[in-house]
């Protein structure tokens, strides 16, 4: 090894010079742009004077999961347009062990609003909030006994109920399916609502549309055990399609993209109902396979909370925020490419059903609903 | 000075770190679009790009240090009574918290390596240690101190079992330990994922994958609050001393080194190579299991599918960086712990991705594993005192 080096040295020296020269030339060519005016930077310092630091800790999905964390982050950035003193930042967690350091890091940084995204962070948020009574926390999809934690929860089963009804009405095979990323209440609440929506359709039409992947009574079904593993989403979708499903609702963040890919490859035989953020904006490349989306308006909830906080208003831990069909915290998105394929009569029934749920004449219940 | 500027271990390690930091700085600049935009008009006004880059890189690395060792601003706040001493020592506590399990897994890999075995299975052994320690921690309900001891011993035994299997397979059938330990890593990980959702293990009232919490009496004592550091780091130092003694002073240690240097010669000299392999893998597994136990009893306090994180695989890097020596491994683990703790702050304060820390760790190890590269770049003279190539070439 050592002998070789000696032989190589002189040649290598020249080679490095050559590489540097070549690199330098390309850089120089790329660096000839015009310098901007000097004055641009003074404006921002006044806004930063009373900055409201809104800091977010993602869960394992990461910041660009096209769903859950992405919505919350979009909410922080949307808040910035309404209240310019909002200064959003985030840390991504790569394992459960990162939640606590992430939250504590923001406490010591003096963040004005610390957002924990996800029910999995419930316990650790409660613990850190107890140790840091002066900081204001917020949590999505969980509640906490602490007065300094602002809970943002969603009656997602209401919107998922509509999705179940839609899926049952759209399905030609008489079999629809759903699966979850992980067996936690914020996920299974979608599946409960979906199953009930299908049951409602069967009752109203005297049909027998089957739900694969979730048994509401037994609270058991298919789970990917991941919110990021697309190949898992693909294999689960293949299994469900093999069993005859032609509409699938994956409640699994990025894992669901694998299912969308299966739908894309099926040439229209399989339709997907997306969740959280409207699929046609968050995963636009698959827009042509999304029948609709069960929207959980995390973005709006987070935005409202942060804007409120930035204006100096108090965020009351009780009652916190509960998104429903009534306040548009949850909804069924547009049909986009499927608009012409959904029967107008079915659309009318969905509108009626939505009004009935808001009015309380149709009750949607789930053991996983936030209390 | 001349002697210092030669290819000894210390100089090489230091230079490797410097190289990693320099490349890391370039990556930081490249990954920041606003600073990168300033390079577009570099020829027109270079000061913009240079000062922005300098500001970005210096704050990032300052945050790395502040998060790993301590923030001077918090210390002065403490002296003036505005912050508590806990806050001032929180960064160093984070470093030690992250380092503790890595010391054990690093020792596990290092010890096996000295006996000529490449223990890729530290991850699986640590997972088994997590499982055994966790279950013992919430099952027995023994009185204080005793409960902790039982849980730790259970963790060590769990890991030892997972090391014993490949050791036995190697001794009896000649199955290569790299293959068997890698396979056992998968087995351990999937076993854990299955186990935590079983009745009796899963936390009551939870539908997600998390076990019951370890009883308070079985947790490693910790100051609590922002100070997450626990007794595990003390145990880690003691264990390092124990492993150093075992390796250098005991008869078994001599056998390990003899077998590691040349199994055929060792056999001729009357050492049972098979017995040494089995025992060595069991001890190495026990060390990794100890690491898993500190993770569960010290920081996590409950089993989840990813409770062991990456401590086993990081242990490989730690052992490599510590050049398979016990004390070297301890310091390497502290360095990795510091990078992790500092990385958290760097991500939180400067908005630089935590992945960069992983890249830094990888670069440091890469340069150390390729000493010829560093020697060539810095034109170091070869040193007679150390056998650098020899200690790593086998890996």
C-alpha–C-alpha distance, residues A87 and A112, integer Å:
10
Compute the average pLDDT of residues A50-57. Answer: 90
Residue A324 forms part of a structural domain: no
With a pLDDT cut of 70, the percent of chain B lying above it is 94
List C-alpha distances in Å: A352 to A323, A332, A359, B133, B317. Answer: 20, 13, 10, 56, 62
Mean pLDDT of chain B: 89
Angle separating helix axes B251-261 and B232-248, nearest 10 degrees: 70
Residue B359 forms part of a structural domain: no
Which of B87, B309, B347 comes nearest A91 by C-beta? B347
**Residue A222 in 3-state DSSP?**
coil
CATH number at residue A259: 3.40.50.2300
List C-alpha distances in Å: A341 to A166, A170, A176, A262. Answer: 12, 9, 17, 20
The answer on pLDDT for B6 being more than 80 is no
Q: Do residue B351 and residue A12 have CB atoms under 8 angstroms apart?
A: no
Kindly state the tokens that stand for A264. 């894309």
Residue B369: per-residue pLDDT: 79
Read off the pLDDT of residues B30-49 as tens digits, 9 standing for 90 and up. Answer: 888 888 888 888 888 888 88
Residue A286 forms part of a structural domain: yes
Inter-residue contact A166 to A194 (CB < 8 Å)? no
Residue A103: per-residue pLDDT: 92
List C-alpha distances in Å: A254 to A139, A191, A297, B74, B317. Answer: 21, 17, 17, 40, 31
Strand partners, A149: A137
Instruction: Check whether residue A139 and residue A55 sit in a common domain.
Output: yes
Residue B216 forms part of a structural domain: yes
The answer on pLDDT for A158 being more than 90 is yes
Q: Does B347 touch chain A (CB under 8 A)?
A: yes
Residue B122 forms part of a structural domain: yes
Q: Does B325 touch chain A (CB under 8 A)?
A: no
C-alpha–C-alpha distance, residues B91 and B226, integer Å:
9
Residue A28: per-residue pLDDT: 58
The answer on pLDDT for A262 being more than 90 is yes
Strand partners, B302: B213
Instruction: Check whether residue A348 and residue A203 sit in a common domain.
Output: yes
C-alpha–C-alpha distance, residues B310 and A13, integer Å:
40
Q: Using an 8 Å CB-CB cutoff, list residues of chain A that contact chain B.
A: 1-2, 5, 8-9, 12, 27-28, 30-36, 55, 89-92, 94-98, 100-102, 104-106, 108-109, 120, 131, 182-185, 188, 219, 225
Residue A192: per-residue pLDDT: 94
Kindly state the tokens that stand for B308. 């062991």
Compute the average pLDDT of residues B142-168. Answer: 94
- Least-confidence region, from A92-101, A201-210, B59-68, B262-271: A92-101
Total tally of structural domains belonging to chain A: 2
Q: What are phi and psi of A150, to 5 degrees?
A: -95, 110
Alpha helix (H) residue ranges in B69-84: 72-79
Q: How many residues does chain B have?
A: 395
- CB within 8 A of B159, min separation 6: which ones? B108, B125, B126, B128, B129, B132, B285, B286, B287, B288, B289, B290, B291, B292, B293
Dihedral in degrees, nearest 10, Cα atoms B360, B365, B370, B375 = 70
Residue B13 forms part of a structural domain: no
The answer on pLDDT for B265 being more than 90 is yes
Instruction: Check whether residue A238 and residue A90 sit in a common domain.
Output: no
Q: Do residue B375 and residue A94 have CB atoms under 8 angstroms apart?
A: no
Read off the pLDDT of residues A288-319 as tens digits, 9 standing for 90 and up. Answer: 999 999 998 998 899 999 999 988 888 888 88
Instruction: Check whether residue A172 and residue A287 sit in a common domain.
Output: yes
C-alpha–C-alpha distance, residues B122 and B282, integer Å:
11
Cβ–Cβ pairs < 8 A, chains A and B: 95
Residue A11: per-residue pLDDT: 54
The answer on pLDDT for B306 being more than 80 is yes
Please state the pTM of the whole predicted model.
0.79
Question: What is residue A332's DSSP assignment?
Answer: E
Total tally of structural domains belonging to chain B: 1
Residue A10 forms part of a structural domain: no
Instruction: Check whether residue A147 and residue A171 sit in a common domain.
Output: no
Residue A29: per-residue pLDDT: 60
Q: Do residue A36 and residue B41 have CB atoms under 8 angstroms apart?
A: yes
Q: Do residue A35 and residue B41 have CB atoms under 8 angstroms apart?
A: yes
Q: Which residue has the higher pLDDT, B257 or B370?
A: B257
C-alpha–C-alpha distance, residues A193 and A155, integer Å:
10
A-chain residue closest to B193, CA distance: A225
Among B34, B207, B305, the residue to mutate for chain A (most A Cβ within 10 A): B207
CATH number at residue B183: 1.10.3470
Among B91, B208, B369, B383, the residue to mutate for chain A (most A Cβ within 10 A): B208
ipTM given for this complex = 0.72
Q: What pLDDT band is residue B382 in, cutting at 50, 70 and 90?
A: low
Residue B5: per-residue pLDDT: 64
Residue B305 forms part of a structural domain: yes
Residue B120 forms part of a structural domain: yes
**Residue A295 in 3-state DSSP?**
strand
Which of A35, A97, A101 comes nearest B45 by C-beta? A35
For residue A97, which residues of chain B lie inside 8 Å, CB to CB? 299-300, 307, 309
> Which of A118, A139, A154 lies at the terminal end of a domain, its last residue?
A154
- Least-confidence region, from A150-154, B266-270, B369-373: B369-373
Among A53, A58, A64, A104, the residue to mutate for chain B (most B Cβ within 10 A): A104
CB atoms within 10 A of CB A366: 22
- Distance from the Cα of A306 to chain B's closest Cα (Å) equals 19
Residue A182: per-residue pLDDT: 84
For residue B304, which residues of chain A lie inside 8 Å, CB to CB? 96
Instruction: Check whether residue A93 and residue A142 sit in a common domain.
Output: yes
Q: What pLDDT band is residue B290 in, cutting at 50, 70 and 90?
A: very high
- A206-241 as b/e: b if 16+ CB within 10 A: eeebbbbbbebeeeebbbbbbbbbbebbbebbeebb
The answer on pLDDT for B370 being more than 90 is no
Q: Does B372 touch chain A (CB under 8 A)?
A: yes
Among B49, B59, B347, B387, the residue to mutate for chain A (most A Cβ within 10 A): B347
Instruction: Check whether residue A216 and residue A348 sit in a common domain.
Output: yes
Closest by Cα among B155, B153, B157, B148 to B132: B155
Which secondary-structure segment (H or E) carries A368? none
Alpha helix (H) residue ranges in B205-325: 232-248, 251-261, 263-268, 273-294, 311-321
Domain residues for A97?
49-154
Residue B28 forms part of a structural domain: no
Q: To which residue do tokens 């995390």 refer?
A: A298
Which of A96, A97, A184 comes nearest B207 by C-beta? A184
> Which of A154, A176, A205 lies at the terminal end of a domain, its last residue?
A154
Q: Do residue A105 and residue B344 have CB atoms under 8 angstroms apart?
A: yes
- Distance from the Cα of B42 to chain A's closest Cα (Å) equals 5
Read off the pLDDT of residues A5-53 as tens digits, 9 standing for 90 and up. Answer: 444 455 555 666 676 666 666 655 666 666 776 554 444 444 444 789 9
Instruction: Check whether residue A214 and residue A134 sit in a common domain.
Output: no
Inter-residue contact A271 to A282 (CB < 8 Å)? no
Instruction: Check whether residue A270 and residue A292 sit in a common domain.
Output: yes
Q: Does B376 touch chain A (CB under 8 A)?
A: yes
Compute the average pLDDT of residues B241-259. Answer: 95
- CB within 8 A of A126, min separation 6: which ones? A144, A145, A146, A149
Compute the average pLDDT of residues B206-210. Answer: 76
A-chain residue closest to B45, CA distance: A35
> Which of A135, A154, A173 lies at the terminal end of a domain, its last residue?
A154
For residue A369, which residues of chain B lie inside 8 Å, CB to CB? none
Q: What pLDDT band is residue B349 in, cutting at 50, 70 and 90?
A: confident
Inter-residue contact A60 to A227 (CB < 8 Å)? yes
Residue A132 forms part of a structural domain: yes
C-alpha–C-alpha distance, residues A299 and A277, integer Å:
9
Which of B45, B299, B349 comes nearest A109 by C-beta? B349
With a pLDDT cut of 90, the percent of chain B lying above it is 56
Compute the average pLDDT of residues B221-244. Answer: 93
Closest by Cα among A250, A252, A253 to A272: A250
- Distance from the Cα of B113 to chain A's closest Cα (Å) equals 23
Q: Which residue has the higher pLDDT, A349 or A3?
A: A349
Q: What pLDDT band is residue A348 in, cutting at 50, 70 and 90?
A: very high
The answer on pLDDT for A351 being more than 90 is yes
Read off the pLDDT of residues A242-252 as tens digits, 9 standing for 90 and up. Answer: 999 999 999 99
The answer on pLDDT for B174 being more than 50 is yes
C-alpha–C-alpha distance, residues A166 and A164, integer Å:
5
Q: Do residue B207 and residue A188 have CB atoms under 8 angstroms apart?
A: yes
Instruction: Check whether residue A179 and residue A268 sit in a common domain.
Output: yes
Domain residues for B272?
94-339
Compute the average pLDDT of residues B223-238. Answer: 91
- Least-confidence region, from A56-70, A199-213, A316-330, A356-370: A56-70
Instruction: Check whether residue A140 and residue A164 sit in a common domain.
Output: no
Which contacts (CB < 8 Å, 24+ apart) does range B61-64 have? B61/B21, B61/B25, B61/B346, B63/B342, B63/B345, B63/B346, B63/B349, B63/B350, B64/B339, B64/B342, B64/B343, B64/B345, B64/B346, B64/B357
């Amino acid at each position: 090894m050592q002998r070789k080096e000696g032989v190589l040295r002189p040649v290598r020296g020249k080679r490095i010079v050559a590489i540097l020269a070549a690199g330098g030339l390309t850089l120089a060519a790329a660096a000839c742009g015009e310098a901007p005016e000097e004055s641009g930077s003074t404006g921002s310092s006044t806004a930063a004077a009373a900055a409201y630091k809104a800091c977010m800790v993602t869960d394992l999905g990461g910041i660009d999961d096209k769903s859950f964390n992405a919505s919350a982050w979009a909410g922080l950035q949307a808040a910035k347009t309404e209240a310019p003193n909002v200064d959003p930042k985030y840390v991504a967690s790569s394992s459960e062990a990162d939640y606590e350091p992430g939250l504590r890091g923001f406490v010591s940084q003096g963040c004005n609003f610390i957002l924990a995204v996800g029910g999995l962070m419930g316990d650790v948020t409660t613990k850190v909030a107890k140790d840091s009574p002066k900081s204001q926390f917020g949590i999505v999809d969980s509640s906490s006994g602490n007065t300094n934690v602002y809970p943002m929860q969603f009656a997602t089963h209401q919107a998922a109920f509509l999705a179940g009804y839609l899926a049952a009405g759209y399905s030609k095979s008489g079999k629809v399916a759903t699966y979850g990323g992980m067996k936690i209440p914020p996920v299974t609440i979608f599946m409960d609502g979906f199953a009930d929506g299908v049951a409602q359709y069967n009752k109203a039409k005297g049909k027998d549309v089957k739900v694969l992947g979730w048994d509401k009574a037994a609270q058991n079904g298919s789970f990917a055990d991941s919110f990021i593993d697309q190949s898992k989403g693909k294999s689960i979708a293949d299994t469900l399609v093999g069993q005859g499903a032609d509409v699938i609702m994956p409640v699994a963040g990025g894992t669901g993209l694998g299912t969308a890919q299966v739908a894309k490859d099926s040439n229209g035989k399989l339709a997907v109902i997306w969740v959280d953020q409207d699929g046609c904006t968050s995963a636009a490349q698959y827009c042509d396979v999304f029948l609709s989306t069960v929207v959980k308006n995390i973005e709006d909830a987070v935005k409202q909370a942060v804007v409120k906080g930035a204006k100096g208003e108090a965020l009351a831990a009780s009652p916190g925020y509960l998104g429903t069909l009534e306040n548009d915290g949850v909804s069924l998105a547009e049909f986009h490419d499927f608009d012409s394929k959904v029967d107008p009569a079915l659309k009318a029934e969905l509108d009626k059903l939505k009004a009935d749920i808001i009015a309380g004449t149709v009750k949607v219940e789930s053991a996983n609903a936030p209390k | 000075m001349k002697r210092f500027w030669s290819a000894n271990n210390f100089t090489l390690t230091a230079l490797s770190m410097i190289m990693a930091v320099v490349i890391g700085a370039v990556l930081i600049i490249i990954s920041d679009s606003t600073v990168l935009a300033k390079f577009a008009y570099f020829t027109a006004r270079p000061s913009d790009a240079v000062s922005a880059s300098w500001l970005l890189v210096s704050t990032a690395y300052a945050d790395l240090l502040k998060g790993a060792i301590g923030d001077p601003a918090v210390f002065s706040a403490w002296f003036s009574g505005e912050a508590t001493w806990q806050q001032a020592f929180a960064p160093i506590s984070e470093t030690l918290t992250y380092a503790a399990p890595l010391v054990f897994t690093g020792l596990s890999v290092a010890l096996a390596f000295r006996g000529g075995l490449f223990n890729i299975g530290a991850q699986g052994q640590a997972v088994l240690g997590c499982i055994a320690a966790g279950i013992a921690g919430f099952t027995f309900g023994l009185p204080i101190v005793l409960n902790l001891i039982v849980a730790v011993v259970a963790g060590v035994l769990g890991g030892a079992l997972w090391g014993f299997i490949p050791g036995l397979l190697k001794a009896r059938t000649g199955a290569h330990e790299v293959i068997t330990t890698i396979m056992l890593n998968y087995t351990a990980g999937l076993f854990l994922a299955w186990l935590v959702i079983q009745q009796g293990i899963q936390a009551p009232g939870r539908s997600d994958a998390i076990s019951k919490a370890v009883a308070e009496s079985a947790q490693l004592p910790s100051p609590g609050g922002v100070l997450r550091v626990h007794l595990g780091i003390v145990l880690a130092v003691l264990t390092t001393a124990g492993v150093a003694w075992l390796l250098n002073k005991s008869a078994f240690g001599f056998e390990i080194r003899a077998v590691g240097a040349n199994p055929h010669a060792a056999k001729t000299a009357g050492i049972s190579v098979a017995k040494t392999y089995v025992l060595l893998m069991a001890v190495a597994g026990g060390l990794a299991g100890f690491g898993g136990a500190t993770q569960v009893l010290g920081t996590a306090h409950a089993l989840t599918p990813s409770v062991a994180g990456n401590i086993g695989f990081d242990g490989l890097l730690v052992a490599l960086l510590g050049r398979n020596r016990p004390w070297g491994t301890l310091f390497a683990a502290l360095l990795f712990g510091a990078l992790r703790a500092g990385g958290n702050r760097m991500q939180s304060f400067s908005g630089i991705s935590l992945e960069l820390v992983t890249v830094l760790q990888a670069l440091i190890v890469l340069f150390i594993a390729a000493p010829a590269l560093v020697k060539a770049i810095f034109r170091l003279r070869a040193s007679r005192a150390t056998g650098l190539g020899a200690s790593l070439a086998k890996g």
